[in-house]
Amino acid sequence: MQGWFHAPHRVEVWLVLLTAGLITISATAQQYRAPDKNDLNNLLAAIEAADRVAVFRVSEMEHDKQVYSSSSVADLAALREAIHINLPKAWFRCACSPSPIIRLYQKGKILGSLEIYGGDDIHYSTWQGDAVIASPEPWFEWFDQRGIRWPRAEYKEGLAQEKARREAEERWVKAMPRSLVPLRPSGIQPEEIMNYDLGPLDTALSREFPDKNARIRSLLEWYGSGTGPWSGYPVYEEVAAKLLLEFSTAELLNAIESAPMNEQQIEGAARLLAGWDFRHTRPTDNALIPAELKRLLLDHSLKSTDQDKLQRARNAFAINSSRQGR
């Protein structure tokens, strides 16, 4: 059985993720390359040969802006000493915009450029791939001492985002029906999520929850334990929606109304019934949702500050509304 935890899915969510990757420096967007012709000594030799170093801030909206320049031998030597790199086992290339760029000069001509991504991911102009700074503190200290503080800030932000990502995935796995945990391998290709075989998951769920209502409610609780957004969420969350949408709307509503729901189940129900897939594959089924349930789901959703979620909930659960906005 192939995995499904790291695959892109429908166009809507994938486009949001792609857009986010273009406007933020992300170490997750990488293209792997062969390690040939990547000589770390090229960078070190260029620093030793240079008679000037300049740092530029990169912006998509304007030309590169020089923020620092020095012809001091001591500054160049300090840069050389600040760079500690472990040779990568597998070279990679970050598919994102650098910030900043260090350019090395000799007699007015550029010897080479060092692009920096997320603070500690670096690419020298003669390399085919990137490397990672092994000792971040001396590296960021070199920038700090020259008033260039955003590389350290980007690095800290990246660490915080990675920590939040891990915590979100751990929370998602904890909320997952126990029967599905052993069926959580990785390695699925991006294009395979649309045609993913849910059969083994259905079989495991049926064994764990012979009662259909209990099965649906367990999936709702799982779907309501994601990172929060209803659009642009991690792709692994899509599997819960795909499993839920195997049931008819009547079956879903019957399970939802079979007993009081906890907060995660309410979130899962709101997310599902206000979601793009449900509303566009079952455009007339919104009328089947009882007014009392719509009020419950809307009241729950209005606690959020996520504008996309608020709009989706208002579109889906406004009483006597025929709007079908996304």
Q: Which residue has the higher pLDDT, 5 or 283?
A: 283
Dig out the tokens for 239 from the structure. 């599997």
Topology classification of domain 33-157:
Dna Ligase; domain 1 (3.30.1490)
Of 242, 234, 168, 258, give the one whose Cα is nearest residue 205: 242
- Answer for the pair 123, 98: CB distance below 8 angstroms, yes or no: yes
Dig out the tokens for 191 from the structure. 């294009």
Three-class SS of 104-123? EEECCEEEEEEEEECCCEEE
User: Confidence band (pLDDT; 50, 70, 90) for 34?
Assistant: very low
Average pLDDT over residues 129-158: 92
Q: How far is CA 316 from the centre of its chain?
A: 27
Angle of helix 249-256 relative to helix 212-223, nearest 10 degrees, comes to: 80
pLDDT in tens, 206-250: 999 999 999 999 999 999 999 999 998 888 888 899 999 999 999
Average pLDDT over residues 171-178: 90
Other C-beta atoms lying within 10 Å of the C-beta of residue 26: 19
Q: Which residue has the higher pLDDT, 88 or 268?
A: 268
pLDDT value at position 19? 32
Question: Does the pLDDT at position 108 exceed 90?
Answer: yes
pLDDT value at position 269? 98
Phi, psi angle pair for 62, to nearest 5°: -150, 175
pLDDT value at position 20? 35
Could you tell me where the DSSP H helices lie in 257-306?
A: 263-273, 276-281, 291-301
Q: CB-based contacts of 289: which residues, under 8 Å, 6+ apart?
A: 253, 273, 317
Question: Does the pLDDT at position 251 exceed 80?
Answer: yes
pLDDT value at position 197? 79
What predicted TM-score, i.e. pTM, was given to this entire model?
0.67
